[in-house]
Structure formats: structure tokens, C-alpha cells
A and B are shown apart, each in its own frame.
Chain A
């Protein structure tokens, strides 16, 4: 019976499913859409009762955000996100590969060690970090925050990428070895290209985690290194909350990640399987 489906039916079905997904997306994203409206909503009717659905847009919130140099914080966030993610990729990729490819003594214990570093509530690590960083002058530096971000990102990266590495075909590498390729060559010319999707997907997630992180950035950052999430609460002032400005910053903080996901989604969707699907 299935074979008798006409192209028309298929088209109808596809449209129906699309409508369903779009409706669900609109429902889920309603608060976000509302927040986009708040970006240009005049302050005096922000929470008017009854709700004002239509209004003349204003750009005053944007002005304040620029005056307060939020673009600096944006830049800091981008830099910190990129640096810390890059470092995680450089350090984490060989480890993930090694975990997946080789049998060795103590492997399970080492892997649990990796997992374990993610288990303590970050709140409790902040004070040890603060005390150590205060001693060695790493507070309010890019290096300091990059190190701190590795507590949650490095283990995540290794964990996720490892499942992906596991399904790389070992035969290719073995063959290359017989051909007399060096280890570096094998890694660069076989392993890395094959891992591309996995690396992109995992590092985008790491970037998102670093991008959104609040507590470490708040306590270990400062005047010199101040990220967007830390700057957002400064909009809660003693003169009231600047809701419009908050909406602007919230949406601006979303934009780079959304764009990244948009362009990299092919890799992300493939990468996110984490090679964990068994055929």
C-alpha cells in the first residue's frame, strides 16, 4: 500500500509536518519573540496592564547599551570563548582519540578521572580558585578564566569526542602505518579530517558553555575581563531595572551563537551523534 502514495500525498504530508513543527517552534519561542519586542518597546508601557501589543518602536535602549560600552564586553566574551575553546580542542583531541583507539592499563580509571572533574558544583570551586588566583595574580586575566573554564569544558569535550573517535575506521590508520607514515602524519591527514564534524559539534557546545558561563566570570573576572553575562546584572540598578536594555543585551548575546549554529549545523547534527549509534 505504501508504494501507492502519490507525490501529491507526499507534498501534503510534508506541508503538514512542517506546519506542526513551525507551530511548535512559535509556541516554544514565544518568550524570546516577546523579548525581541522589548528591545524596541518604550519603558513606560513595558509592563502596562492591559498589555500593549502594538506600539511605536524606540531605539533608546540601544543608545544606552552603546553608551555603557557593552560592545567591549561582547568583544571580551568572543575572545574568551574562542581562546578557551581553541585550547580545549588542542589539548582534548589527542586525549579523546587515545581513549577511543588504544587499550591500555588504567584506562577506565583515567576516564573516570576525566568524568569526575565535572561533578563538583562549580560554586564550591570558586573560592579555592579565588584564593589560588589571588596568590599568583591570575584574577581578572584571560589566562585565569581560560584555565577555570577548562574544569567544565575539557572533560566534556574529551567525553563527547571520545565516543565519536571510537567509530573511526582503524584499518585506514593501520594501513597508513604499514605504508610508513609517521604518527603526526596519520593524525593530521587521516584522524583529524575524519573527526571534523565531531570536533566542530563539540567545540560549538563548549563555546556556548563558555559564552554563557556566569559564576566563574563573575568572581574571577573583573574590570579588565568582563563578559556579557556578568555585565547583564549591572542593568539592575538602584534606579530600577533597565528591562529594554536587558532585552537588547540578551538578544545580542544570542546572535553570535545563533549565527554559528546556523552555519555549522551540518557538522553539529552529524557530530552530535557522538558516534554512539550502533548499527
Chain B
């Protein structure tokens, strides 16, 4: 089908997803009687081990895993570890050939390195196998382009999407709708104060709300400094990913060209970096040490007016008893470049659970992964968790996602996931990311100008890989 050729534009991604579904429909004749019980018959009694990352959603998932065993007779040891453990130990397990786990959750960026190490088993044959694949699975319902760009490489599928980390725009609604502030903003910038939808608005709102202690904010005197925006800035974390996914790509740039050659010092990228670096002026002074831990902490404690943050972390902050500002927050899509809404891009980290090449039970594992991604399980999960980050388009319509206090957040997520893609498959992703984060920090801290930084980054990239894409 040439799925890979279609990558690039977001509409093409959707087509890709559909194309996969079509090919699926052709392969599978409607067999009404397909059940997990029957499909699992040959693998009854097998035990599979699955490693996933601990989140409240996965903890709920863990409670429904026994249902799969009851249905199929396949035993599942479903292990939850934290973010770093899943990456380090999961990779160590696959790369060392230990093969303790049959399936392991991979963040999108891990897929490239693991593919190039030959650690992942493609699932296409099993998808095509009528005995194994539920004809009603509805693969086209998986959120795209995230699914097609993350789980598919070189025309092969490596798993179903597992979850969809994504970033959103997060702001203090109480401040943005305060009459005094609205009047002052209008007077200064000549347009209405509202949640930012473009980079220019993001910058203006950030500048407007950056105030020293003693100044007035929303009618009250500030006891300490207040800032216009907060983002990640630490070495590691998603500092560079946010610059890349949210800014550079929205300017029409990227870090590699179509052939995979490093292309960091393009005018588009430099313009994007300028926009990003200027925001540092309106951010808390310690932003270069801020990780995804600090950003929600800063927002939750009322230190900044806006943030670009991971939406799943917001779930933990916008709760009564956690932040005094809970209920006052508003959410929106990540802003885009003025006049370039069609190029908008959002940093996201869709993840897949992959089957290790060392597994002895690929079919049983496949059945389990398929079962997890079924609509039934996904809906049960979101209901039990009172919302969350969905992996299926149909999940957006669930009452729990539409109503309730966090409906605005879910709306923003949906917008992010309309354009969110997986990371390009880069074998040297980690080296690139480490070096480019360091350079980004230097630009943010004003030690390098955007032009110098871009030049340095280009040289550093060429030093690591050329071309940088797999295949």
C-alpha cells in the first residue's frame, strides 16, 4: 500500500489510516461468530508477560486484565513500572536477548532505535490471519495520524496504539477574563484578551502578564513575581521536543529534510526558535531546570498565566484539593503561526505496545494487545477513570469526555490529536535529542543567538547521523 509515502501532511495521515482499514476489510470476510474464546483456543494455558507504564489509567486497566484470562484461558502477568523503568528495563530486556517480557510498551521515540536494533516483531501476518483478528476490531477508529505514524514503519505495523500523550495550551481563565485586565490588554495591544491561538498572541499575553511583586494582578497586589508563561527547559525532558514539535514544525520547518538529511539551520527553523526563545523572557527565571514535574507545579501554585504542558499531567493538577486554582483553568490547542493554521503541529508522544522478537507466544500476546485496544475495554477504562487520553476516535463522544469539569481539557486534547504524529523513526534519536536539548537551553538562556544555535545544532546533527531516518 505504500503507507510510508503518504507521510507528511496531516490529511494524508488520515487517508493512511483509512487505507489500512480498507486493506483489513478486504482481507477479512465478515465472520459473525468470531470470539476471543475461540481464537485463543490453541493458546489456552499459555502465560504472557506484559510491561506497561504506571498511570492511573493503566492501574484501572490492570483490574480488568483478569477478564481477558477468564475469557480466553491465557494467563497475563501485567506489570506496571514507572516511566524510566519502562524505558530502561524494557529496552534492556529486548536488547540483551533476555526475553522475559512478551510485550513491552514503547514511547514513540523509542520505536526508531528499537526497530534498528531488530527487537520488534511486525504484526501484519497476525492482523491478516482471520483466526486471530477480530473482524469488528475497527482499526480505522484508532486516532490518526498518531497511529499510522507511530505503529507503522516501512509499510509494516508493529502494534496497536497504547496511549496518546499530547501537549496542550493551558492558561488561567480567571485572569484572561478579568474585566480590568481585558481593558488594559485591549488598550495596549489593540485586540481582545483571550486564550492565545497564535504565537503572536501567546507572546503578547505572556508579556502582558509578566509582573514584579508589588504590581497589581486582577485587582490584587502581587506578593511575589508573576510570569506570563511556563514551559519545560531542562536538559532531558521535553524541552527540545516542544520546540521542535510545537514551534519549528508549525513554521513549516523540521530538523531533517525529506531524505533524512539534517536541516536544522533553515530560515523557518530560525524564525521558530526566535519565537520560542523570546518566550523565555516572560518565564520564571529557573526555567532551564524545569521538567515536566515543574511545569504543572508552577501552574498549580499560581505562578504563571500560561503554559505549554503535557495534558495528562493536567489531569493530576486540575482537581479539588490539589490546586487552589482548580476550576479556574482554561485549555486550548497549541497556538500556531499567524496565517499558517494549516501547518499547525503539536508535540505528542503516541505510544505502542510492541511484541518482542524474543517472545515464545506471539499469537497469545497479539490477542491480548488486540483485546486491550478494543472499543469495549477502552470505553470501560475512560468511564472508570472519569476521562483520560483516548486512543479511539469514537471515545471523544463518550459522555465522560463531553460533560464534566474537564470537558475543556478533553476538547483541547482532541484538537492536539488531530495533528499529532509519532516521532520519525530515527536510530540515533537519543543522541540527537540530548545534544539538541543542550543547545536549545543555551539559546533559551541567551548564551547563543538563534542563528548561532541553529548553526551549532546543524553541525552537531551532521556529526551524529546523515541521513538520520531509518530506511
Chains A, B in direct contact (C-beta < 8 Å): yes
Is B296 close to A, CB under 8 A?
Answer: yes
| A residues 41-99 in Cβ contact with B at 8 Å | 42-45, 47-50
Q: How far is the CA of A43 from the CA of B446 in the complex (A)?
A: 35
* Interface-facing stretch out of A12-20, A163-171, A185-193, A217-225: A217-225
The one of B53, B297, B323 in contact with A241, judged by C-beta atoms closer than 8 angstroms, is B297
Q: How far is the CA of A237 from the CA of B58 in the complex (A)?
A: 12
Which of A42, A44, A134 has most chain B Cβ within 10 Å?
A44
Shortest CB distance B206–A (Å): 19
Is A106 close to B, CB under 8 A?
Answer: no
Is B76 close to A, CB under 8 A?
Answer: no
Determine whether the beta carbon of A222 is less than 8 Å from that of B301: no
Q: Which residue of A lies closest to B58 (CB)?
A: A238
Q: Which residue of A lies closest to B302 (CB)?
A: A49
Determine whether the beta carbon of B297 is less than 8 Å from that of A236: no
Which of A222, A233, A234, A237 has most chain B Cβ within 10 Å?
A237
| A residues 129-161 in Cβ contact with B at 8 Å | 130-131, 134, 139
B contact residues around A218 at 8 Å (CB) = 85, 88
Determine whether the beta carbon of A238 is less than 8 Å from that of B316: yes
The one of A47, A48, A219 in contact with B89, judged by C-beta atoms closer than 8 angstroms, is A219
Determine whether the beta carbon of A43 is less than 8 Å from that of B321: yes
| A residues 233-249 in Cβ contact with B at 8 Å | 233-234, 236-241
Determine whether the beta carbon of B55 is less than 8 Å from that of A239: yes
| A234-B322 contact given A134-B96, A134-B98, A222-B89, CB 8 Å threshold | no
The one of B54, B92, B96 in contact with A237, judged by C-beta atoms closer than 8 angstroms, is B54
Taken residue by residue from 279 to 314, chain B's Cβ proximity to chain A (1 for < 8 Å, 0 otherwise) reads as 000000000000001001100111100000010110
Is B317 close to A, CB under 8 A?
Answer: yes
A contact residues around B293 at 8 Å (CB) = 236, 240-241
Is B56 close to A, CB under 8 A?
Answer: yes
Which of A134, A236, A239 has most chain B Cβ within 10 Å?
A239
Determine whether the beta carbon of A44 is less than 8 Å from that of B98: no
Is B29 close to A, CB under 8 A?
Answer: no
A contact residues around B315 at 8 Å (CB) = 238-239
Q: How far is the CA of A130 from the CA of B97 in the complex (A)?
A: 11
| A44-B321 contact given A49-B223, A139-B98, CB 8 Å threshold | yes
Shortest CB distance B353–A (Å): 16
B contact residues around A134 at 8 Å (CB) = 96-98
Q: How far is the CA of A45 from the CA of B100 in the complex (A)?
A: 43
| A residues 21-55 in Cβ contact with B at 8 Å | 42-45, 47-50
Shortest CB distance B299–A (Å): 10
| A236-B223 contact given A44-B322, A139-B98, CB 8 Å threshold | no
Q: How far is the CA of A45 from the CA of B88 in the complex (A)?
A: 34
Determine whether the beta carbon of B98 is less than 8 Å from that of A237: no
Determine whether the beta carbon of B88 is less than 8 Å from that of A219: yes
Is B268 close to A, CB under 8 A?
Answer: no
Q: How far is the CA of A117 from the CA of B74 in the complex (A)?
A: 46
| A237-B316 contact given A50-B224, A139-B98, CB 8 Å threshold | yes
B contact residues around A47 at 8 Å (CB) = 297, 301
Q: How far is the CA of A44 from the CA of B84 in the complex (A)?
A: 27
B contact residues around A240 at 8 Å (CB) = 293, 296-297, 300, 313, 316-317, 322
Q: How far is the CA of A222 from the CA of B79 in the complex (A)?
A: 10
| A43-B98 contact given A223-B79, A234-B54, A239-B315, CB 8 Å threshold | no
Q: Which residue of B lies closest to A231 (CB)?
A: B82
Is B200 close to A, CB under 8 A?
Answer: no
B contact residues around A49 at 8 Å (CB) = 223-224, 301-303
Taken residue by residue from 47 to 91, chain B's Cβ proximity to chain A (1 for < 8 Å, 0 otherwise) reads as 000000111100000000000000000000001011111001100
Q: Which residue of A lies closest to B291 (CB)?
A: A236
Shortest CB distance A34–B (Å): 16
| B residues 309-356 in Cβ contact with A at 8 Å | 310, 312-313, 315-317, 321-324
Determine whether the beta carbon of B96 is less than 8 Å from that of A45: no
| A238-B313 contact given A43-B321, A44-B323, CB 8 Å threshold | yes
| A233-B223 contact given A47-B301, A238-B313, A239-B55, CB 8 Å threshold | no
A contact residues around B88 at 8 Å (CB) = 218-219
A contact residues around B224 at 8 Å (CB) = 49-50
Determine whether the beta carbon of A131 is less than 8 Å from that of B96: yes
Determine whether the beta carbon of B82 is less than 8 Å from that of A236: yes
B contact residues around A44 at 8 Å (CB) = 321-324
Q: How far is the CA of A222 from the CA of B316 in the complex (A)?
A: 27
B contact residues around A43 at 8 Å (CB) = 321-322
Q: How far is the CA of A49 from the CA of B225 in the complex (A)?
A: 10
Q: How far is the CA of A163 from the CA of B89 in the complex (A)?
A: 40
Q: Which residue of A lies closest to B49 (CB)?
A: A223
B contact residues around A130 at 8 Å (CB) = 92, 96
Shortest CB distance A55–B (Å): 13
Q: Which residue of A lies closest to B324 (CB)?
A: A44
B contact residues around A241 at 8 Å (CB) = 293, 297
Q: Which residue of A lies closest to B317 (CB)?
A: A240
Q: How far is the CA of A48 from the CA of B297 in the complex (A)?
A: 10
Q: Which residue of A lies closest to B297 (CB)?
A: A47
Determine whether the beta carbon of B321 is less than 8 Å from that of A42: yes
| A48-B301 contact given A42-B321, A233-B84, A238-B312, CB 8 Å threshold | yes
Give 14 new A-B contacts, CB below 8 A, not counting A43-B322, A240-B313: A44-B323, A48-B324, A49-B223, A49-B302, A130-B96, A134-B98, A218-B88, A219-B88, A233-B84, A236-B82, A237-B54, A239-B56, A239-B313, A240-B316
7 A-B residue contacts at CB 8 Å?
A43-B321, A45-B324, A47-B301, A48-B324, A127-B92, A237-B316, A238-B312
**What 8 A-B pairs are tightest by C-beta distance, nearest first?**
A239-B316, A240-B316, A134-B98, A234-B82, A238-B55, A238-B312, A47-B301, A241-B293
**A-to-B contact residues, CB < 8 Å:** 42-45, 47-50, 127, 130-131, 134, 139, 218-219, 222-223, 233-234, 236-241
